[in-house]
Chains A and B, each alone.
Chain A
Amino acid sequence: MAKAQAAVVGVGTTAYGRLPDYDAYDLGMWALTEALGDAGLKFEDIDGVIINRIPDYQRFCEIAGIDPQYVTITPGHGRFAAICIDTAISLVASGRCKTVALVYGNNGRSAGASYGGPEDSYGSGANGLWFPYGMTSPGAFHALMMRRHMGLYGTTPEQIAQVSMTFRNHAALNPQAVMREPFNLDTYLDARMICDPLRLLDYCLINDGGVAIIITAAERARDFPKPPVYLRGAALQTVFADSMFPPEDFWRGAMKKVTDRSFGDAGLSHADMSALMIYDNFTPTVLFSLEGCGYCGEGESGPFVAEGHLALGAKFPTNTSGGHLSESYMQGWALNVEAVRQLRGECGERQVSEAANVHYCAAAPVCSSIVYSRDAS
Chain B
Amino acid sequence: MSAVLPSDKPRPRLDGPEQPFWAGLKDRQIRVQRCDHCGRHRFPASRYCPHCHGPHSHWDAVGGEGEVESFCIFHKAYFPGFAAETPYAVIQVRLDSGVRFFSNLAGGADNAEIQIGMRVRAVFEDVDDALTLLKFRTAEAKP
Contacts and interface: CB of A to CB of B under 8 A. Distances in A.
A244 B99 CA distance: 12
A298 interface: no
B78 A132 contact: no
B12 A128 contact: yes
A154 to B, nearest CB: 12
Nearest to A242: B100
B56 interface: no
Contacts, number: 95
B70 to A, nearest CB: 4
Nearest to B117: A151
A116 B12 contact: no
B133 A132 contact: yes
Contact of A133 (B69, B70, B103): B103
Contact of A193 (B87, B103, B131): B87
B104 interface: yes
Contacts of B67: none
Interface residues on B, range: 20 to 34
Interface in B50-75: 50, 69-75
Contact of B116 (A116, A143, A147, A242): A147
B11 interface: yes
Contacts of B87: 193, 196
Contacts of B90: 130, 133-135, 140, 144
A336 interface: no
Interface in B7-47: 9-13, 18, 44
Interface in B107-125: 116-117
Interface string B80-115: 001001011010100000001011100000000000
Contact of A129 (B9, B18, B50): B18
Nearest to B111: A196
A192 B70 contact: no
Contacts of B103: 133
Given A117-B79, A126-B44, A196-B87, A133 B74 contact: no
Contact of A134 (B12, B50, B82, B117): B82
A131 B75 contact: no
B69 to A, nearest CB: 7
A129 B70 contact: no
A195 B88 contact: no
Nearest to A141: B72
A129 B90 CA distance: 14
A194 to B, nearest CB: 5
A120 B76 CA distance: 15
B75 A135 contact: no
B10 to A, nearest CB: 4
B60 to A, nearest CB: 19
A196 B75 contact: yes
Nearest to A240: B50
A131 B88 contact: no
Given A132-B12, A147-B116, A118 B79 contact: yes
Contact of A194 (B69, B75, B88): B75
Contacts of B75: 192-196
Contacts of B92: 144, 245-246
A147 B71 contact: yes
B79 A241 contact: no
Contacts of B127: 132
Given A132-B11, A135-B102, A144 B72 contact: yes
A133 B104 contact: yes
B66 to A, nearest CB: 13
Nearest to B73: A196
Contacts of A129: 12, 18, 44
5 contacts: A117-B78, A120-B78, A140-B72, A194-B75, A196-B73
What 6 A-B pairs have minimum CB-CB distances, sorted nearest first?
A131-B10, A143-B72, A196-B73, A117-B78, A116-B78, A193-B75
Interface of A: 114, 116-118, 120, 126, 128-137, 140, 143-145, 147-148, 151, 192-198, 241-242, 244-246
Interface of B: 9-13, 18, 44, 50, 69-76, 78-79, 82, 85, 87-88, 90, 92, 100, 102-104, 116-117, 127, 131, 133, 135
Given A140-B74, A144-B90, 4 more contacts: A133-B133, A134-B88, A135-B90, A147-B116
